[in-house]
Structure 1
Amino acid sequence: MNWEQPGDGPGDESNSDSTSESGWDYDRLVDIAQRHGTPVHVLDTARLDRATEHLYDVFGGLGRPARAYYSVKTNYLPYLLRRLTGHGMGADVVSGYELEAALAAGFDPADIVFNGPVKTDAELAAAARHGVRVNIDGEQEIAALESIAARAGLTVEVGIRISPGVPVSTSSDPSYRAQAERAAARNRFGWPAGSPQLAGLVEEIAGSPHLSLTAVHAHLSSQIVHQDLMLQALGRVLEEAAVLHRRFPLREVNIGGGFGVPGIRRPRTGPLTALWTGQGGAAPAQDDEPVMEVARLLPELDKLMQSVGLEGVTLACEPGRWLVSDAMAMMTQVMSRKELPEARWLILDGGNNVAPWAGSGEIHRLTPVGRKFSDRRITWSVAGPLCYENDVHATAMELPADLRPGDLLCLHDTGAYSLGRSNNFIRTRAGIVAVDGDQEELVWRAETGADVFALADPAVPGAQPGAS
């Protein structure tokens, strides 16, 4: 696989003598890896700050109020959350412990929204107690919230999640397109625009004296790169929101997140491609991956909102990956090199347990660093260390021919879903080092074997010594 990313020069992968064109100081990353061991994630706060400031610049050009709620599930690192509160960011949470993390990090409860398909009564009570808006995604939430609010003598603001029912990605593979259409139509999140089910829920909220419908919410997918398809889908949501706005004066339309980043690639192929390639045929040619431009998407949505009668309503979004993906990279080491008759393998010490997208076909760029490498490049299959056949970073990636055990590689775009979805299957979780200018801090220590078994054999509450 030949990898090119906007802003990265063709020689970047083989030279670690200075700061790369991607902006990472590879010499500094090598130094961190040597002192902290590998695998280790590195958070560059300057990259996080630039992404946040860029988003606010886009907001400033809109003809309406705008706000952002950081998607805490993307990366709940407390150091990172505190950094974002310093930028005045809100928080999008989808569980009780994420709500606790957001409050502990200093997010104002008025700037927190509670999303997700399951919210326990205890979580709904906590949201009501703190004044956090709840976006309704399950019918049972309405009665539960009404009961909680009535007992407490509160009025709770709620939003309702709407699904447009159309895909936001496409491919030259018709079987992929068919799968995407079916998945969008069957989407279990939210309620279909224009459906009797949605209408019924709206009536139930309207009949709840302690609930106030003030927002519409949508979240279409993840790593969306087809901007025009996203606009078309959100058009359906905005039309539904305009109907609701004439009855319930809405304060906000929240379009969710899922904005794609250029640093990763996901497979957009279906069973037809698998059939062709499995029979030795050529896969259908894939179109060049588009780049999501938030600076174009949000102004277009601003115009759409105006056109359907949503004047003065705040445009909100929930960026997660878009803010943090590029702000983190992971240093990993080559542990083994195998040249077999049918494949050449590089086996790294960082795999699916610390890069949880490995095995799902999602490709992140790998940059050899730490020394000068050969100009000759060959095709490698790259895997992690787990005794698990799907622990594979890439089945075919063009890398220097002279890579050997002990060499270091930088795995790019590890800011999203590396912490919350990491696990200790076979190997333990990695640590995280934050760099802020000249300052450097270990902000999440690497897991140990003792940590893995810390929850084992808990004492039984109330048990008497010697009792049978």
Structure 2
Amino acid sequence: MSRPRPDAGPRAGTEAGTETATETGTEAGTEAGWDPVRLAEVAQRHGTPVHVLDAQRLDRAAEHLLDVLGGLGRPARAYYSVKTNYLPYLMRRLAARGLGADVVSGYELEAALAAGFDPAAMVFNGPVKTDAELATAVRHGVRVNIDGEQEIEALEAIAARTGQRVEVGVRISPGLPVSTSTDPSYRAQAERAAARTRFGWPAGSPQLASLVDRIAASPHLALRAVHAHLSSQIVHEDLMLRALERVLDEAAALHHRFGLSEVNIGGGFGVPGIRRPRVGPQGALAALRGESAVPDEEPFLDIARLLKELDGQMQRRGLDGVALACEPGRWLVSDVMAMVTRVMSRKELPEARWLILDAGNNVAPWNGTGEVHRLTPIGRPYAAEHSTWSVAGPLCYENDVHAAATELPDDLRPGDLLCLHDTGAYSLGRSNNFIRTRAAVVALDADAEELVWRAETGADVFALADPRTPDPAPGTP
């Protein structure tokens, strides 16, 4: 499978909001599998900013995951995390490959069904599920993983009305952090966040025991699955395994009592193409004082090794015949999309050298998590000499910054193109029209090219302002 090498992202040890470029002169970007000439041609035809989707790269990622799951010593399932990227073209492609779907809202459920996912291979997760959404899930035979206590009563009422016995799962929280840092204040924050998470029910807690007893007492519900989702962009494999041991301990006890059919470990598997800075208040203060921090290594999460180890742990706990499921999203789609953006302005100021792009946080909405994505120049040969640039988007918003400091060619100028890598995860769903409209998506499948999500217009932005405006036809992007 063609995926970025573990060291393809920003080098370990860079400060929050900074990035070290790996490219030299001429046209960069080919090391990540993208053809810079073709990207520039797409930008010429469709304008910028524009997302480009490599359909064959998506196929290879799905096939590799299914191969890994097929090599385990038990039944195994993959549910694609729809919230990661709900592009219908992409979902149809994954459904055709045999993946299931993980949804966390009613409209995601409807979109997944429309994309062709098998309802029997779908799970409904999330902390809030309305009665109407639960009724839709039950009607289609989609399993609900209970995260809110009120869901039990609602599901019981729905099942009683329809005369069904509904299989459900329960979400469990291990209460342990799955990321770490050389910054002790970051570690303290991570431990506190894991201990007080609002998602799921704490392993070993009386609250979990009470919830399970309520499900057991329900005449129309059958507890058949355990679910967990620990975080996002997890790169510390050993910490993830340690946390999941608590989940598997609970699963073993529940299996003895109820006979489980599935243990679902969720997703959040980290990808090498992006970096999230692991800096707490102590590290931030040190950086302001100009002190050099001890570099954090950026581990590479090996999903095959992770799943094989979990398979063995389930075997040792007597979970024979119980399926191992996961919910990859970012891992499948992060590097199957890239964005082409254009330099609009170059400002060389006394304290900073700025490149202002036409793609902002509205179409690359990651500044809330502090993610750093690589930028590579394309479209023409560039100087071998590089300088440190600050790179921002077009929004009148101070935090619309892609990189506080990154190495790029000296001769970048307005009109030049840059490739923003790894835009497949959380770009469409979290995009917005603050000041600028949303970007188009163009799919490449070998020699074929197809516009699969058109760019938003000003008319689209205000279409909801008049209640008399008819809704678009079902399935319209």
Same structural fold, with TM-score higher than 0.5 when normalized by the shorter chain: yes
The one-character-per-residue Cα deviations of 1:270-293 (angstroms, maximum 9, x if unpaired) are: 000122222x23142122100111
TM-score (norm 2): 0.93
Equivalent position to 1:260, from 250, 265, 270: 270
> How many angstroms apart in 2 are the aligned matches of 1:365 and 1:5?
14
Contact 2:8/2:273 (<8 A) preserved = no
Give the secondary structure class of the aligned counterpart of 2:314.
Answer: helix
Query: Residues 99-138 of structure 1 correspond to what in structure 2 (within 5 A)?
Result: 99-138=109-148
The reply to whether residue 16 of structure 1 matches residue 16 of structure 2 is no
Equivalent position to 1:95, from 102, 105, 109: 105
Shift, 1:345, TM fit: 0.6
Query: Residues 388-403 of structure 1 correspond to what in structure 2 (within 5 A)?
Result: 388-403=397-412
Shift, 1:21, TM fit: 2.1
Partner of 1:336: 345
The one-character-per-residue Cα deviations of 1:21-70 (angstroms, maximum 9, x if unpaired) are: 21111110000001100000000011111111111121122111111000
> How many angstroms apart in 1 are the aligned matches of 2:6 and 2:87?
27
Partner of 1:207: 217
Partner of 2:381: 372
The one-character-per-residue Cα deviations of 1:85-115 (angstroms, maximum 9, x if unpaired) are: 1100000000000000000011111011000
Shift, 1:8, TM fit: 8.3
> How many angstroms apart in 2 are the aligned matches of 1:28 and 1:393?
23
The reply to whether residue 356 of structure 1 matches residue 357 of structure 2 is no
The reply to whether residue 428 of structure 1 matches residue 437 of structure 2 is yes
> How many angstroms apart in 2 are the aligned matches of 1:120 and 1:377?
54
Contact 1:359/1:391 (<8 A) preserved = no
Tell me: CA distance 1:360–1:243, structure 2 relative to 1, closer, same or farther (3 Å). closer
Give the secondary structure class of the aligned counterpart of 1:247.
Answer: helix
Shift, 1:4, TM fit: 9.3
Tell me: CA distance 1:359–1:14, structure 2 relative to 1, closer, same or farther (3 Å). farther
> How many angstroms apart in 2 are the aligned matches of 1:44 and 1:425?
27
Contact 1:171/1:286 (<8 A) preserved = no
Partner of 2:7: 6
> How many angstroms apart in 1 are the aligned matches of 2:68 and 2:26?
35
Partner of 1:276: 286
The reply to whether residue 244 of structure 1 matches residue 258 of structure 2 is no
> How many angstroms apart in 1 are the aligned matches of 2:306 and 2:294?
27
> How many angstroms apart in 1 are the aligned matches of 2:179 and 2:117?
33
Percent sequence identity over matched residues? 76
Shift, 1:13, TM fit: 5.6
> How many angstroms apart in 1 are the aligned matches of 2:197 and 2:269?
18
> How many angstroms apart in 1 are the aligned matches of 2:150 and 2:36?
51
Partner of 2:232: 222
Tell me: CA distance 1:270–1:7, structure 2 relative to 1, closer, same or farther (3 Å). closer
Residue segments in structure 2 that go unaligned for 5+ positions in a row: 11-20, 471-477
Residue segments in structure 1 that go unaligned for 5+ positions in a row: 462-468
Contact 2:143/2:168 (<8 A) preserved = yes
Give the secondary structure class of the aligned counterpart of 2:443.
Answer: strand
Partner of 2:13: none
Shift, 1:460, TM fit: 11
Contact 2:8/2:272 (<8 A) preserved = no
Give the secondary structure class of the aligned counterpart of 2:187.
Answer: helix
Query: Residues 130-209 of structure 1 correspond to what in structure 2 (within 5 A)?
Result: 130-209=140-219
> How many angstroms apart in 1 are the aligned matches of 2:434 and 2:310?
43
Shift, 1:156, TM fit: 1.1
Tell me which amino acid in the other structure corresponds to 2:26. Answer: N
> How many angstroms apart in 1 are the aligned matches of 2:405 and 2:88?
36
Give the secondary structure class of the aligned counterpart of 2:170.
Answer: strand
Partner of 1:466: none
Shift, 1:7, TM fit: 5.6
TM-score (norm 1): 0.95
Contact 1:326/1:412 (<8 A) preserved = yes
The reply to whether residue 457 of structure 1 matches residue 466 of structure 2 is yes
Shift, 1:457, TM fit: 2.8
Tell me which amino acid in the other structure corresponds to 2:7. Answer: P
Give the secondary structure class of the aligned counterpart of 1:420.
Answer: coil
Tell me: CA distance 1:8–1:154, structure 2 relative to 1, closer, same or farther (3 Å). closer
Contact 2:226/2:264 (<8 A) preserved = yes
> How many angstroms apart in 2 are the aligned matches of 1:26 and 1:49?
21
Give the secondary structure class of the aligned counterpart of 1:246.
Answer: helix
> How many angstroms apart in 1 are the aligned matches of 2:257 and 2:318?
12
Tell me: CA distance 1:5–1:376, structure 2 relative to 1, closer, same or farther (3 Å). farther
The one-character-per-residue Cα deviations of 1:239-262 (angstroms, maximum 9, x if unpaired) are: 000000000100000000000000
Shift, 1:14, TM fit: 3.6
In the TM superposition, structure 1's runs of 4+ consecutive aligned residues that sit over 6 Å from their partners are: 8-11
> How many angstroms apart in 1 are the aligned matches of 2:400 and 2:453?
24
> How many angstroms apart in 2 are the aligned matches of 1:297 and 1:268?
22
Contact 2:9/2:374 (<8 A) preserved = no
Shift, 1:133, TM fit: 0.3
